[in-house]
Structure 1
């Protein structure tokens, strides 16, 4: 079985990151994570970051850089982690995909529950030097 390709959008604003709680219409609802989603055929990672953020939380962002790559815990997706700047605008969550959204520090993210193990590793090890 081939793995899918997906992006994770690490939205930065004033030293914080946007965390969302997965909504009722997506797999594994209730988990906290950054905005994420699968790449569409022919779409660049950079374009996918902008599109997914717009669809899930209504923000217009500037993708900055790919900073990490990992796999989902079930091995079904390769995740391409991108930072993106979201300096202005209000978060308007898509209620099917996003149950809740909040701007958090890396330390605050690590206190949320439940979170995926790969996300925990990102917030512990990869993110702090980037902020």
Structure 2
């Protein structure tokens, strides 16, 4: 199966990160995860990050650094993890994509259910080193 590419947006505010509960129109609805989305043809990782965050929660962001790369459990997506700075503003979730948003610490995120194994690995091993 060809591997698709997607971005994961790690939006930080002090010691917290913004996570969402995936909405009814998203892949794997009900899961808690950072914002993510598929790269469109010809789109850079940074462009995809800006577009996906704008579409899903209505915030403008500035990509900062690529911090990790992983594959989804099924191996069908290669995930590019980016930190990003969000502009001040109200989070306005697209109800099809996002059913809830929360600012959480990594420990609080790891206590949420359900979450993906790759997200557990990121917040347990990678995020503390950022």
Which residue of 2 is the match for residue 76 of structure 1? 76
Offset at residue 22 of structure 1 (A): 0.4
State the Cα RMSD in Å: 0.8
Offset at residue 27 of structure 1 (A): 1.8
Which residue of 2 is the match for residue 5 of structure 1? 5
Offset at residue 90 of structure 1 (A): 1.4
Segments of 5+ residues of structure 2 without an aligned counterpart are none
CA contact (8 A) 1:6 1:36 kept: yes
Q: Distance in 1 between matches of 2:37 and 2:68?
A: 15
Per the normalisation by structure 1, the TM-score is 0.97
In the comparison of the two structures, how many residue pairs are matched?
Answer: 130
Segments of 5+ residues of structure 1 without an aligned counterpart are none
- The ranges of structure 1 where at least 4 consecutive aligned residues each deviate by more than 2 angstroms after the TM superposition are none
Which residue of 2 is the match for residue 96 of structure 1? 96
Per the normalisation by structure 2, the TM-score is 0.97
Q: Distance in 2 between matches of 1:114 and 1:55?
A: 23
1:44 and 2:44 equivalent? yes
